[in-house]
Amino acid sequence: MGLDFMLNENLIAQRVKEIIAEQALVEPSEVREDMTLADLELDSLGLVECIFGIEEAFDVAIPFNANNPDESGFDISSVGAIIRQVEGLIAKQAA
Amino acid sequence: MRRVVITGAGSLNPLGANVPATFAAMKAGVCAIGPLTCRDVDRLTVQIGAEIKDLDPDAHFPRNSIPLLDRFTQIALVSAREAVAQAGLNLTEEEQFRAGVVLGTAGGGNLTVDDNFRTVYQEGKNRVHPFVVPRLMHNAAASHLSMEFGLKGPGFTVSTACASANHAMGQALMLIRSGMADIMLTGGSEAMLGFGGIKAWEGLRVMSRDTCRPFSRDRTGMVQGEGGAVFVFEERERAMARGATILAEVVGFGLSSDASDIVMPDRDGPVRAMRMALADAGLSPDTIGYVNAHGTGTAANDRTEAQALAEIMGAHLPDCPVSSTKAMHGHLIGGTSAVELLACLMALQDGVLAPTVNYTEADPDCPLDVVPNHAREAHVDAVMSNAFAFGGLNAVMVLRRAA
């Protein structure tokens, strides 16, 4: 499954949105890249579940530290930011 | 002294998904022991247990909260909802500070531990779900009850193996008596019918491979179950002032330690716990009309418990029915004495004594009226419920008809 995602970045974005939507209790189509986690009313537990879900889906390790989310080296300022970094992690892993 | 009454009861156990269903099954003498369905059951020597057949998490909890709820927590929440509804609790903010929760469990989130050990050890994964800790902790059930019902007073979990729920309910009693709380949700729950949980019990070689026959001469050991019950304990004056229906009064609690052996039962410790509970209740042994025994179905427990009961009851023993409902619902470990308190409530409220099912042959070492196989009508005014745990920690509750 990993290869498919690496071949198509849209698929990565779609899968990340699905994972976030699952936690935010909304439809994937309602998740837009400009949205923040606050827009989606995701609390801290929902966020760590998203991180876990993304790690499981793409078999990557996300450098996220819930103690200090702003300085953990993983930008969670918007859905789009998360997607770009996941794409980066997958690309790095493939390299 | 402040008196304590029960104003609500709820349960989810192998006999039923609520108290009325449980009472009906107890009256019918249903045995809920059957084949286990857990993963890798073929690798277990013991393949029977009393499972809850129809616990659908989606029917009870929002999708996003289910990852936080181990099965033992789900059982406690479902039970508590029934108890709180029956009690008609509607707490003001001030009352919330005077309301608490104390629950018993032996294994806590044992299934969560088992699942995640499998993930990291067997499957070799290096990542686990983020909620493993909040799921597995022994206080998870108590915490979720506090959140759901706004219980902002004392909250904690008691873990004393097979006596956990009785110890918990004893704590609830004392907190209300002492004036530290007015309302306590209390009881216990257990869910460890997974591969690891059963494998651990197998190791002790005290488990039956066919069924549970407490006090029967041909008994072959204990059978594990899963489930629990939760009660609303309330200060009596308060309950009466608000016109609550009083199910029973909690009049006595006794506890003791054998201080002798980590697994072998002892006569002296249970005798002291029963004596203390009766003294606490201000009742003489001959006023007890029914005893719900610990009655695990092991050779040693049942013989020792019969001796302890003989010492306490003396000449009253032949006139005091003693049953073990574990033959019906299995040994629910840390939650067992909560479900067994339901049999005590049934005796007081409905005048029906729950039977000891699967009983085939009298044992001269257990000369008790065990209410064999069929429920019996009886008018009782006071009842006693025994719990004698591994580790030699004993806890006994005494209830009296609401007056």
At residue A9, the pLDDT reads 67
b/e per residue, B34-72, with b = 16+ CB within 10 A? bebebeebeebebebbbbbeebeeeeebeebeebbbbbb
Q: Is B67 on the interface with A (CB under 8 A)?
A: yes
Structural domain of residue A36, as residue ranges? 2-94
Determine whether B316 is an active site residue: no
Indicate whether A85 pLDDT > 60.
yes
Q: Is B156 on the interface with A (CB under 8 A)?
A: no
At residue A67, the pLDDT reads 80
Tokens linked to B34? 């059957």
Q: Pick the residue from chain A with its C-alpha nearest to B62.
A: A25
User: Contact at 8 Å (CB) between B128 and B357?
Assistant: no
Instruction: Give the pLDDT mean for A62-69.
Output: 82
Q: Do residue A55 and residue B127 have CB atoms under 8 angstroms apart?
A: yes
At residue A66, the pLDDT reads 79
Q: Which of A55-64, B73-82, B230-239 has the lowest mean pLDDT?
A: A55-64
* Residue B314 identity: G
At residue A64, the pLDDT reads 87
* Residue A40 identity: L
Instruction: Give the pLDDT mean for A78-92.
Output: 94
At residue B398, the pLDDT reads 98
At residue A73, the pLDDT reads 82
> Which is it for the CA torsion A9, A13, A15, A16, positive or negative?
positive
At residue A4, the pLDDT reads 54
User: Contact at 8 Å (CB) between B103 and B137?
Assistant: no
At residue A44, the pLDDT reads 87
Instruction: Give the pLDDT mean for A33-50.
Output: 93
Indicate whether A6 pLDDT > 70.
no
Q: Is A6 on the interface with B (CB under 8 A)?
A: no
Q: Do residue B130 and residue A46 have CB atoms under 8 angstroms apart?
A: no
Determine whether B162 is an active site residue: yes
Question: Measured between alpha carbons, how far is B325 from B290 in angstroms, rounded to an integer?
Answer: 12
pTM of the model: 0.94
Range B111-119 contact pairs with CB under 8 angstroms and sequence separation of 24 or more:
B111/B70, B111/B71, B111/B72, B111/B191, B111/B192, B111/B193, B111/B194, B111/B197, B112/B70, B112/B136, B113/B196, B114/B192, B114/B194, B114/B195, B114/B196, B114/B197, B115/B194, B117/B196
At residue A8, the pLDDT reads 62
Q: Is A1 on the interface with B (CB under 8 A)?
A: no
Q: Do residue A45 and residue B129 have CB atoms under 8 angstroms apart?
A: no
Tell me how crowded residue B78 is: count the other CB atoms within 10 A of its CB.
Answer: 23
Indicate whether B222 pLDDT > 90.
yes
Q: Which of A22, A49, A56, A60 to mutate to test the interface with B (most CBs of B within 10 A)?
A: A49
When the candidates are 3.40.1160.10, 3.40.47.10, 3.40.50.2000, 3.40.50.1360, the CATH number that belongs to B254-400 is: 3.40.47.10
Give B146-160 pLDDT, tens digit per residue.
Answer: 999 999 999 999 999
Greatest Cα-to-Cα distance within chain B, rounded to the nearest angstrom: 63
* Residue A39 identity: D
Q: Pick the residue from chain B with its C-alpha nearest to A53.
A: B129
At residue B64, the pLDDT reads 87
Segment 16-45 of chain A within 8 Å of chain B by CB: 23, 25, 45
Give B356-398 pLDDT, tens digit per residue.
Answer: 999 999 999 999 999 999 999 999 999 999 999 999 999 999 9
At residue A7, the pLDDT reads 54
Tell me how crowded residue A90 is: count the other CB atoms within 10 A of its CB.
Answer: 18
- The distance from CA B30 to its chain's CA centroid, rounded to whole angstroms, is 18
Indicate whether A70 pLDDT > 80.
no
Counting every residue written for chain A, the total comes to 95
φ/ψ of residue B23, rounded to 5: -60, -45
Q: Do residue B130 and residue A45 have CB atoms under 8 angstroms apart?
A: yes
Residues of B in contact with A45 (CB under 8 A): 68, 130-131
* Residue B80 identity: A
Domain B4-241 matches domain B254-400 at the CATH topology level: yes
What is the domain-level CATH number for residue A20? Answer: 1.10.1200.10
Tokens linked to B80? 């508590």
Q: Is B119 on the interface with A (CB under 8 A)?
A: no
Give B285-318 pLDDT, tens digit per residue.
Answer: 999 999 999 999 999 999 999 999 999 999 999 9
Instruction: Give the pLDDT mean for B124-149.
Output: 96
Question: Measured between alpha carbons, how far is B231 from B84 in angstroms, rounded to an integer?
Answer: 8
Q: Which of B63, B64, B133 to mutate to test the interface with A (most CBs of A within 10 A)?
A: B64
Number of compact structural domains in chain A: 1
Question: Measured between alpha carbons, how far is B305 from B7 in angstroms, rounded to an integer?
Answer: 30
- pLDDT above 70 covers a percentage of chain B that reads 100
Residues of B in contact with A56 (CB under 8 A): 127
B380: CB partners within 8 A, 6+ apart: B289, B290, B347, B348, B351, B353, B401
CATH number belonging to domain B4-241: 3.40.47.10
Instruction: Give the pLDDT mean for B312-339.
Output: 98
- The distance from CA B58 to its chain's CA centroid, rounded to whole angstroms, is 25
Q: What residue spans define the domains of chain B?
A: 4-241, 254-400
Question: Of B38, B144, B331, B366, which residue is the catalytic one?
Answer: B331
Q: Which of A62-71, B143-152, B174-183, B258-267 has the lowest mean pLDDT?
A: A62-71
Q: Do residue B63 and residue A25 have CB atoms under 8 angstroms apart?
A: yes
Residues of A in contact with B129 (CB under 8 A): 49, 52
Q: Is B208 left (phi over 0), alpha (psi -120 to 50) or beta?
A: beta
Q: Do residue B131 and residue A25 have CB atoms under 8 angstroms apart?
A: no
Give B236-248 pLDDT, tens digit per residue.
Answer: 999 999 999 999 9
